[in-house]
Amino acid sequence: MTRRRFGSKLFAVTTGIAAGGPLVVMLVLMGVLVRDAWPAWRFQGLSFFSGTVWNMGNMYANTPIVRAGVQGAPGASFGILPLVVGTLYSSLIALAVGVPIALLTAAALVYLAPKRVSMWLSPVIDLLAGIPSVVYGLWGVEVLAPFVQSRLGPWLSHVLRIAPFFHGPVGTGMGLLTSGLVLAVMIIPIVTATTRELLAQVPRLPYEGAQALGLTSYESVRYVAFPWVSSGVIGAVILGWGRALGETMAVLMVSGNAANYLPTNIYSPISTMASTVAALLDSALTDFTGLAVHALALIAVTLLAITMATNLLARSLVALGRRGLEAEGERR
Amino acid sequence: MKSGHSKKAMLAVSSALSLASLTVAGLGGAPAAFAQSSAHARASAVRHTSGPAVRLQETGSTLLFPLFQLWVPAYKKVASNVFITPNGTGSGTGIQQAEDGVVQIGASDAYMSTGLLSQHPSMLNIPLAISAQQIMYNLPGLKASTHLHLTGSVIAQMFMGKIRYWNAPQIQNLNRGIKLPHAVIVPVHRTDSSGDTFLFSQFMTDTNAQWAQSVAYGTSVPWPAVAGAQGGNGNQGVVQTAQRTPYSIAYVGISWLDKALSHGLGEAALANRTGRFLLPTVATISAAAGQMIAKTPRDERISLIYAPGANSYPIINYEYAIVNENQSSAVVAQAIKNLLLWAINSKGGNSASFMTKVHFLPLPTSIAPLSRAQIERIHG
Amino acid sequence: MNARAIRSKAAWSMAALALAVVMFAVIDILALVAGKGAAALNGSIFTTMTTGIAGGLQNAIYGTFALVGLGIVLSVPIGVLAGVYGALFAPDPVAKFFRFVAEVMAGVPSIVIGYFGYTMLVVAWGFGFSLLAGGISLAILMLPYIVRATESTIRQLPHGYMEGARALGITPADAFRTILWKPALPGVLTGVLLAISIGLGETAPLLYTAGWSNFDPNWQLTKNPIGYLTYVVWTYLNEPYSAAHRLAYAAALLLTALVLLLHVAAKGLQRSTPAQ
């Protein structure tokens, strides 16, 4: 008996130690990143986020310059505004395109398609979530970019010719719009799956009651079912947003790799924060002062902070939504 | 031992925990497929060396990469026990990963900076051959036999966004008789850290004062903001991007010339110091080399850009192997030495059969001893 | 028909259209990969190694299995135990906090792991480009999924199990060891399969930790670079050679087929989970 109790205790303690694993990994990861990023922050300060030029400085100079006690190559200056803009814009396009499609798709799967059909279609859409991002990149390069270049781009530019950001030279299809569309396809399965599962859990009674009261089927979904699941859906949307913000390879393949300028229209080449870390880590490591690597670490810290913030936001929105629903229930 | 390598896998994994640094693949390194090809090689090899299986990683310059692609299978016949993985990742990566000791041979079109070298004094910059770089453009409708005349300064202005259209007077004046389109110029640059960027930006620096002031040179430079400008990863990525992008202009390493031409890109004739417009050919590259190589110092770090002389093509360079003279073991060191000595041998890797395919020139006879002396310094 | 009915009809048409668009995208991606990949696939892909920009994929296939395998070996024990702790032993706020950590961890952009992997594992700790550095990086990416799958599976087990155990005076640990693990197993395995599919598809962190090799893995843990399939897709698509493109498509097809297989297996497991 005592041995069993000891065994139980030991098991519980072992699981407890293992549970600390992810925490330790995260703390080490953040510790290393912040340590590496710190010199770049001291060197550059807030202009890191407002500057538009990423200049590692003259790496063939013989003597470094010193600012705020930090060494850098002469001329070094690190501004990531174009990357921030590229990241934000591409992820917002992904949301603007992906979320409505995902919500409509989920509604169609739950309410429109015959059960047997949706039983087959749902796993197929779930599969999208598992496709490696390089395969998305490949699809983007081979299919989407040429489509944007020759069809979608010229059409949009023509139809929306009064809208400044949509009108202009369409370029090669490598750029903001294609990046956003690839990201949209990547987040659609995330949002669709969650919404579909939540909608399926909505009690039939209020939904049918709404229709009995004379609401159309669309109105019952829109005004009864969706509010019921909104908090979970918002959580999934923000999760998808986080994924879009941090996506590296697919964007790297279709972004056009713009350097040091802001997108002038929606077809413009861009670069994102994640793709820049991937693309520039090698070159940064050739900076004899080490500052360029610190600057990349600062991008990584910023990315990490943004993804953590979106996560927190998603959680608090979900909690808020839940509280709201409960309050509503009490009022009734 | 070779056939049983998968059975021993688990054992090897656990024992590898204690054998921390093993580049020499003692345990079942060579797979069956290679045992066969090495047997074949043994029969036909000229000067076959054998020994324990050694794995070598070469990474870096995408300009040198096509040559390494030719060298590796050929060298297999010389030393069947050496397994080489070449990789085209950009010269900066070659320099940096060789420094960090994660690869044995870094390939670079750029020599290491003095700053880097002072931090890593055991690194060697070993020229293996002479190469060149050409400026290429995607101008639909222009015949391949027509070579636009461009000067360094004009190219610099195109990459700085000062010249925005192909039919701008600065370009048109150099190309009377050619109908240039009123189309926006799309500069294409390298996104990775690149020796080609180094060569290109040195030429720009030498020919345009404003470029020298604001951009200067290096394996990565702060690209001027030009709306629509694009980046490509490696020479291969630049060729693909330029090919996909009408009205683009790009700098491409000469080992990619044939590929780029077959993809429909045009090749510019560049103005040299005397104002003559030249294409990179054996004659113009060796003329430029002839002007410069005598200045090569013992550590062989020297720029050959913008050589004087009427027949000199302006963008040529040494192709370097960046190697740490201290290697992890004597076996690895010897394998690297043998490979590099073969590479610069005029009957080995420097023979015309390799050089002409990538449009490189072999190492001049006056320079080969310098490289050989550096190679001899590699030890375990 | 009144305006509201028309609006309803219109909305449902939009929904059907959205579904069609999504299905079209899925089919288009699969058709591209399957069509061009199948044309490139032949027996020698599995039996020969990559040579520069051509050859086969044997080294990449073995390497992928080795890397994902090591990632699983490292992440599953920790992840499952951590999930058990969160579900059975942790006080509520602690469990909540650990869940948050797992979620944040799942959201870490993979290139951040790549940065960490290169500067710490590869250089500072001297592993070099290697199976170990790549495997650890993948394990970090996989871990949160296994933790979450384990915890939520156990939490969703019918309350009867735990209450029965408590009534019999059995500790949670014993309850888990004797009864709970069995109904939880399919759910945990589903999580592991998901983690495997994530590991299979990673590129960015491996570029900076595993490196690349044209030769089969030699089962050295450190200092020996190792190949993987995603590298082929990413790098060879960038080469202006049709042989390289074919190889990239073949690798993409293999990856997609493996992911598909894992999804089917996971669905099968979910079906075998006892009804709640």
CATH number of the domain enclosing A160:
1.10.3720.10
Distance from CA of B58 to the nearest CA of A (A): 15
List the domain range (segments joined by +) for residue A137: 80-274
What integer pLDDT is reported at residue A211 of this predicted model? 84
Q: Is residue C55 part of a domain?
A: yes
pLDDT score, position C240: 81
Contacts 24+ apart (CB under 8 A), A4-11: A4/C174, A5/C171, A7/C173, A8/C171, A8/C172, A8/C173, A8/C174, A9/C173, A11/C173, A11/C176, A11/C177
The CATH number of the domain holding residue C191 is: 1.10.3720.10
- Is the same domain home to C36 and C47? no
Are B193 and A286 inside 8 Å of each other by CB?
A: yes
Region of poorest pLDDT, from C35-39, C175-179, C192-196, C245-249? C175-179
Residue C30 Cα, gap to closest chain B Cα (Å): 24
Residue C128 and residue C253 share a domain: yes
End-to-end CA distance of chain B: 26
Beta carbons of C240 and B240 less than 8 Å apart: yes
The pLDDT of residue A322:
61
Q: Percent of chain C having pLDDT more than 90?
A: 68
B window 238-257, beta carbon within 8 A of C = 239-240, 243
CB contact under 8 A, A249 and C86: no
pLDDT at C169: 81
Residue C167: predicted pLDDT: 83
Contact C220 B16 (CB under 8 A): yes
Do C22 and C88 belong to one domain?
A: no
Residue of C216, C231, C247 to mutate for B, most B C-beta atoms under 10 A = C216
C174 and C120, same structural domain? yes
Q: How many domains does chain C fold into?
A: 2
- Give the span between the Cα atoms of C48 and B189, in whole angstroms: 35
- Specify the pairing of strand B361-362 against strand B123-137: antiparallel
Minimum CA–CA partner of A264 in chain B: B227
* Residue C47 domain-assigned (yes or no): yes
Q: What is the domain range of residue C256?
A: 43-271
Give the ipTM: 0.91
Q: pLDDT tens-digit profile of C219-239? A: 899 999 999 999 999 999 888
Q: What is the DSSP letter of A256?
A: B
Contact yes or no for C129 and B73 at CB 8 A: no
C35 in a structural domain: yes
Stretch A193-204: mean pLDDT, rounded?
89
Name the phi and psi angles at C50, rounded to 5.
-65, 135
Measure in Å the smallest separation between the Cα of C275 and chain B Cα atoms: 40
Nearest CA in chain A to C142: A22
Q: Does residue B17 sit at the C interface (CB-CB below 8 Å)?
A: yes
User: Is C276 inside any structural domain?
Assistant: no
Closest-CA distance, C201 to chain B, in angstroms, reads: 21
Q: Give the model's pLDDT for residue C53.
A: 78
SS3 of chain B: the string is CCHHHCCCHHHHHHHHCCCCCCCECCCCCCCHHHHHHHHHHHHHCCCCECCCCEEEEEEECCCCHHHHHHHHHHHHHHECCEEEEEEECCHHHHHHHHHCCCCCEEEECCCCCHHHHHHCCCEEEEEEEEEEEEEEECCCCCCCCCCCEECHHHHHHHHCCCCCECCCHHHHHHCCCCCCCCCECEEEEECCCCHHHHHHHHHHHHHCHHHHHHCCCCCCCCCCCCCCCEEECHHHHHHHHHHHCCCEEEEEEHHHHHHHHHCCCEECEEECCCCCEECCCHHHHHHHHHHHHHHCCCCCCCCCCCCCCCCCCCCEEEEEEEEECECCCHHHHHHHHHHHHHHHCCCCCCCHHHHHHHCCEECCCCCHHHHHHHHHCCEC
* CB pair distance less than 8 Å for A59 and B218: yes
Exposed / middle / buried, residue A227 (Cβ in 10 Å: 0-12, 13-18, 19+): middle
> How does residue A175 score in pLDDT terms, banded at 50, 70 and 90?
very high
Q: pLDDT tens-digit profile of C69-104?
A: 999 999 999 999 999 999 989 999 999 999 989 988
Euclidean distance between CA atoms C201 and B188, whole angstroms: 30
Instruction: Indicate whether A303 belongs to any domain.
Output: no
Determine the residue of chain A that is closest to C174 in CA distance: A8
Residue A253 lies in a domain: yes
How large is the average pLDDT for residues A138-148? 94
> Which residue type does B72 have?
V
Residue B185, CB-side half-sphere exposure with 13 Å CA sphere:
24
**C138 and C16 in one domain?**
no
Q: Minimal CA–CA distance to C111: which of B102, A240, A272, B190?
A: A272
C8:A137 CB<8 A: no
Residue C163 within a domain:
yes
C220 part of a folded domain: yes
Residue C260 within any structural domain of the chain: yes
Residues C16 and C153 in one domain: no
Residue A323 lies in a domain: no
pLDDT in tens, C6-49: 999 999 999 999 999 999 999 999 999 999 999 988 888 899 99
Domain shared by C231 and C130, yes or no: yes
| Distance between CA atoms of residues A253 and C235, nearest Å | 10
Residue contact C263–A22, C-beta within 8 A: no
- Asked whether the beta carbons of residue C238 and residue B5 sit closer than 8 angstroms, the reply is no
Taking contacts as CB-CB distances below 8 angstroms, the residues of chain B near A75 are 216, 222
Same-domain status, C2 and C95: no
Domain count, chain A: 1
Across the interface, do B220 and A73 touch by the CB < 8 Å criterion? no
Average pLDDT over residues A147-160: 93
Calpha distance A129→A125 (Å, rounded): 8
Q: How far apart are CA A78 and CA A57, in angstroms?
A: 9
Q: Do C113 and A222 touch (CB under 8 A)?
A: no
- The answer to whether B261 faces chain C, any CB pair under 8 Å, is no
User: Residues C138, C259: one domain?
Assistant: yes
For C239-243, what is the mean pLDDT?
Answer: 85
Percentage of chain A modeled with pLDDT above 90? 60
Region A77-91 average pLDDT:
96
Chain A contacts of B90, Cβ < 8 Å? 282-283
| Best mutation target, C238, C242, C247, to test chain B (most B CBs within 10 A) | C238
Q: What is the pLDDT tens value at each position of chain B, 380 positions in all? A: 334 344 344 334 333 333 333 333 333 333 333 333 333 333 333 455 667 899 999 999 999 999 999 999 999 999 999 999 999 999 999 999 999 999 999 999 999 999 899 999 999 999 999 999 999 999 999 998 999 999 999 999 999 999 999 999 999 999 999 999 999 999 999 999 999 999 999 999 999 999 999 999 999 999 999 999 999 999 999 999 999 999 999 999 999 999 999 999 999 999 999 999 999 999 999 999 999 999 999 999 999 999 999 999 999 999 999 999 999 999 999 999 999 999 999 999 999 999 999 999 999 999 999 999 999 999 98
Q: What is the maximal distance between C-alpha atoms in chain B?
A: 73
B345 at interface of C, judged by CB pairs closer than 8 A = no
Name the minimum distance, in Å, from the CA of B102 to any CA of chain C.
Answer: 5
The answer to whether residues C80 and C35 belong to one domain is: no
User: Has residue A235 been placed in a domain?
Assistant: yes
Q: Nearest-CA distance from C132 to chain B in Å?
A: 10
In a domain, A191, yes or no: yes
